[in-house]
Structure 1
Amino acid sequence: MHLAKSSLAIGGVARGGIAIGGLALGLLLGVGGMATGLVALGGLAVGGIAISGTAVGGVAIGGGVVGYYTAGGAAWGEYVISGRQQDPEAVRFFRDWRDWLPGTMPNR
């Protein structure tokens, strides 16, 4: 197991300001199989903004997501866009993200 600790950490287990690895524990950004951070991207992501297959965060986008503002196939949260529901507040919130998240927003 390779443990990387730095402001920019890259490794099997990476911990730092910006972390990239199998397990990425980033303060600002985490990218990896399991990622945490203010912005987290990965198979399982936990963060302020979490984008992943399984995501938990204030803003969560992915397949199965839990958060305050959520968009995904199976989404749970205060304001939700999913296959079953489209909350008007969530639509307003994600409207600005439409250009770089194709397929997430309805064209209304």
Structure 2
Amino acid sequence: MNYYKVQGKSQFYSALLKTETKEEAIKQYQKLISIVETQEELEELKDDMREFSLAEVIVELRRCRTEDDEPISDTEILEQLVDDDIVLLTADRTLM
């Protein structure tokens, strides 16, 4: 499994995705977060997507907060990482 983070000045949402390929991450981002309407937007999305290591993903998830503003537990992080049905690990609206 690979991990991809979308974050950049051309994206309104940052997201951390777990997929086999970058192409699949792009499809899932469009399905779950934001539709890409033009070829230019697709190129911007590709430019704003970076592969993350497992260690980087764990650091990112440890920074996340629940809806109750509590840190995500290590157990929950591990459950998300091993559950193959979970694609979207986290998403944030960025106001840029």
State if a TM-score over 0.5 links the two structures. no
| Structure ranking higher in strand proportion | 1
| Structure ranking higher in helix proportion | 2
TM-score normalised over the length of structure 2: 0.29
Which structure is larger by alpha-carbon Rg, 1 or 2? 1
Higher relative contact order (CA 8 A, sep 6+): 2
